[in-house]
């Protein structure tokens, strides 16, 4: 094959979606794409409308290269919420305004549920009724009929990042309804906000009130901001490749694949290692997204604040996945009544969640148990006033955490994970009244509370990881709720009943490199914030030649450490 043929094939491959060649931050093809975006942007950044149109098209191309023809779904989301936002803003009648907002929320969540929970509803219905129905992809069926395509109608593929851009788009119509944001005038402006590629597929969830005002400001990037952007990109790539992927391939994936084949100590190391992996993976993506956006003059919201420095569960959720926590707080928890009171929506959602739990179980016995528990709570509330107040003030919190768990996927494990964190938050509210550790006036008190919090979060993640996939092929697999549940319980059983301390030296030596990476990652994480800020600013202040040199050697090391393109964990959510 001659040089011209190779070049032509390379160009064709670049523009055609290939599920075996993912278009993610850790691939050379993405950075080639981003360099082209920056090059074109350098010529048009003063022409605001042209720039927004170009970045919108570039973002659609990015999403097409990431997940194929689902870019059409992303485009449709932008179209209907743009026009619904205009209708909300121009409608005077309060009831009609609410109807338009309801239309946006229901439409977006219906699409999300169709792609994310179709298998769950079908399998649960079959379990309860004893039927043998199968999922049918109506969108593929209609496409095959109208366009002559050949999509498989017996399988529903989850579009990457659908939960993120759905919540992002909903935030726009809610803020327009509340009057805190004026609707954008041009469709390309709104579409640019919804599709902005750096954070499109794995967050952070950008709020309309935070991002839309930025698109009308003149492009500005100081020398210091340029240095910080490069730092965040290199920092994120290091987290992903050196920390997340290395410990996943060499320890975590092996153990979670077959926990019964490993000792209790190996299982314990795997779940602690997974806590570091999921943080390094997710925050690594966020770091890169922040850096890439900053180079284009846009500031994304902070999504992590050293979460493993948290001294209690409440503190952890103020530091972890901040954009989702704030979204759930502002658009779900507070509207339900927060920690003050319940509302009609509170009890409707509580009933919905109980219904989902019953469906997931696929058992009439669970239905009977749920009815008896609800009746017991109602009677206790009638008899004991203080218990009634306690239930009311904590129900919204538990609903928020359960729905936060369900947001990650239709599996018992995600619901258990969300429920355990909800219970942890409720327990802490009671415990802090009598805790001797609440006043952390000594280093060992703070260290002890950090260790307890980290351990609690780590053990709840057994359920989270067992319900997740860490491969491209597994991202679209149907959740086997029984297998996922048994995998989590097996790990816990191995840890608590098959931990032989005598084999610890052998295990440590066998995984020495992995353990050194884990320890190094946690030590860096626990460094003081002031120290981290200092070396960030020092890097940003380097002369350009020194910065290029550091980045060159960094890229060489990262390239040597890269094996295959492992998807970011939060792509599946």
Q: Report the alpha-carbon distance of residue 82 to residue 80 in Å, rounded.
A: 5
Q: Report the alpha-carbon distance of residue 108 to residue 224 in Å, rounded.
A: 39
Q: Report the alpha-carbon distance of residue 540 to residue 249 in Å, rounded.
A: 32
Tell me how far CA of residue 524 lies from CA of 71, 243, 306, 518, in angstroms. Answer: 38, 11, 10, 10
Q: Report the alpha-carbon distance of residue 201 to residue 170 in Å, rounded.
A: 16
Our answer to whether residue 326 is catalytic in this structure is: no
Asked if 203 contacts 573 with a C-beta cutoff of 8 angstroms, the reply is: no
Asked if 347 contacts 191 with a C-beta cutoff of 8 angstroms, the reply is: no
Q: First vs last Cα of the chain: how many Å apart?
A: 41
Q: How many CA atoms lie within 13 A of 332 on its CB side?
A: 23
CA 460, 462, 465: angle at the middle one, nearest 5? 115
| CA quadruple 494, 495, 501, 504: dihedral sign | positive
Q: Report the alpha-carbon distance of residue 167 to residue 331 in Å, rounded.
A: 10
Q: Report the alpha-carbon distance of residue 272 to residue 261 in Å, rounded.
A: 18
Q: What is the DSSP string of 54-101?
A: HHHHHHHHHHHHHHGGGHHHHHHHHHHHHHHHHHHHH---HHHHHHHH
Asked if 162 contacts 263 with a C-beta cutoff of 8 angstroms, the reply is: no
Asked if 359 contacts 415 with a C-beta cutoff of 8 angstroms, the reply is: no
Give 421-449 as a 3 state SS string: HHHHHHHHHHHCCCCCCCCCCCHHHHHHH
CB within 8 Å of 375: residues ≥ 6 apart: none
Q: In the block, which residue shows the tokens 């973002």?
A: 59
- Contacts of 212-219 with CB under 8 Å at 24 or more apart are 212/172, 212/181, 212/184, 214/297, 214/298, 214/299, 215/48, 215/52, 215/189, 215/298, 216/48, 217/297, 218/46, 219/45, 219/46, 219/296, 219/297
Q: How many helices (H) and strands (E) does the chain have?
A: 26, 0
Q: In the block, which residue shows the tokens 């602690």?
A: 272
Q: Peptide bond before 204: cis, by omega within 30 degrees of 0?
A: yes
Per annotation, catalytic residue among 408, 479, 493, 525: 408
Please give the positions annotated as active site: 408
């Amino acid at each position: 094959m001659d040089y011209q043929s190779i070049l032509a094939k390379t160009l064709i491959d670049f523009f055609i979606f290939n599920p075996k060649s993912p278009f993610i931050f850790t691939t050379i093809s993405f950075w080639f794409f981003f360099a082209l975006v920056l090059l074109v942007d350098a010529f048009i950044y003063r022409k605001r409308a042209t720039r927004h149109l170009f970045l919108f098209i570039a973002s659609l191309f990015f999403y097409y290269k990431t997940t194929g023809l689902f870019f059409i779904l992303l485009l449709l989301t932008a179209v209907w919420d743009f026009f619904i936002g205009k209708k909300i803003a121009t409608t005077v009648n309060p009831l009609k305004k609410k109807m338009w907002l309801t239309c946006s929320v229901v439409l977006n969540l219906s699409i999300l549920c169709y792609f994310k929970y179709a298998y769950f509803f079908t399998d649960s219905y079959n379990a309860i009724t004893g039927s043998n129905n199968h999922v049918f992809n109506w969108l593929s069926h209609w496409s095959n009929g109208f366009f002559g395509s050949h999509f498989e109608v017996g399988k529903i593929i989850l579009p990457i990042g659908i939960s993120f851009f759905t919540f992002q788009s909903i935030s726009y119509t809610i803020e327009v309804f509340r009057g805190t944001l004026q609707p954008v005038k041009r469709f390309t402006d709104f579409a640019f906000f919804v599709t902005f590629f750096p954070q499109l597929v794995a967050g952070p969830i950008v709020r309309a009130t935070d991002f839309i005002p930025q698109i009308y400001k003149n492009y500005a990037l100081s020398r210091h901001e340029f240095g910080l952007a490069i730092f965040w990109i290199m920092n994120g790539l290091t987290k992903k490749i050196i920390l997340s992927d290395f410990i996943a391939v060499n320890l975590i994936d092996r153990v979670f694949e077959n926990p019964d084949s490993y000792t209790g100590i190996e299982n314990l190391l795997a779940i602690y290692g997974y806590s570091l992996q999921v943080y390094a993976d997710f925050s690594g993506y966020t770091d890169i997204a922040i850096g890439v956006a900053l180079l284009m003059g846009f500031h994304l919201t902070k999504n992590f604040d050293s979460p493993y420095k948290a001294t209690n569960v409440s503190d952890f959720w103020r530091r972890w996945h901040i954009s989702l926590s704030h979204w759930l707080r502002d658009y779900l928890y507070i509207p339900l009544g927060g920690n003050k009171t319940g509302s009609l929506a509170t009890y409707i959602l509580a009933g919905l969640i109980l219904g989902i739990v019953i469906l997931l179980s696929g058992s009439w016995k669970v239905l009977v148990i749920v009815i008896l528990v609800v009746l017991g709570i109602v009677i206790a509330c009638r008899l004991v006033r203080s218990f009634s107040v306690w239930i009311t003030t904590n129900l919204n919190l538990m609903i928020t955490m359960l729905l936060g768990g369900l947001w990650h996927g239709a599996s018992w494990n995600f619901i258990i994970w969300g429920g355990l964190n909800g219970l942890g938050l409720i327990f802490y509210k009671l415990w802090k009244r009598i805790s001797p550790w609440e006043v952390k006036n000594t280093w060992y008190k703070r260290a002890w509370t950090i260790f307890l919090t980290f351990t609690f979060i780590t053990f709840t993640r057994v359920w989270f990881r067992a319900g997740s996939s860490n491969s491209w092929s597994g991202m679209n697999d149907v959740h086997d709720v029984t297998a996922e549940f048994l995998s989590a319980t097996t790990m816990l059983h191995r840890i608590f009943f098959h931990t032989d301390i005598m084999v610890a030296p052998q295990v440590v030596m066998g995984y020495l490199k992995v353990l050194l990476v884990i320890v190094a990652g946690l030590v860096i994480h626990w460094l003081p914030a002031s120290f981290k800020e200092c070396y960030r600013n020092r890097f940003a202040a380097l002369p350009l030649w020194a910065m290029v040199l550091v980045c060159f050697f960094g890229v060489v090391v990262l390239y040597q450490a890269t094996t295959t393109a492992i998807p970011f964990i939060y792509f599946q959510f």
